[in-house]
Amino acid sequence: MARPTLYVKRGCPYCKAATKYLDQQQVSYETVEVRGDPDEMRKLEEVSGQTKTPTMVWDGDVLSDFGTEELATFVRAHRAA
């Protein structure tokens, strides 16, 4: 199983909530800061078709611009796979 990637922006309260949830659930993930990094922002746009954060990519599935309830469903689905 590939390690998920979480695209975030500094100061984003939804990103902070997402990282807190993932840490509480002991999900190992990579964080990518896109604010101020044009290359990482381009990667975010390529994988998701937009620039909103948080965005999580896990095994090719993309969850964009989400809250913790949507993230919980996404995590459960990937842990069950």
Write down the pLDDT at residue 1.
59
Q: Using 50, 70 and 90 to split pLDDT, how confident is the model at 47?
A: very high
Q: 56, 63 in Cβ contact below 8 A?
A: yes
When computed from its CA atoms, the radius of gyration of the chain, rounded to whole angstroms, is 12
Alpha carbons 44 and 25: distance in angstroms, whole number = 24
Alpha carbons 26 and 44: distance in angstroms, whole number = 24
Alpha carbons 70 and 28: distance in angstroms, whole number = 18
For the chain, domain boundaries: 5-80
- Computed over every residue of the chain, the mean pLDDT equals 95
pLDDT tens-digit map of 58-81: 999 999 999 999 999 999 999 887
CATH number belonging to domain 5-80: 3.40.30.10
SS3 state at 71: helix
pLDDT tens-digit map of 6-44: 999 999 999 999 999 999 999 999 999 999 999 999 999
**For the whole model, what pTM was predicted?**
0.94
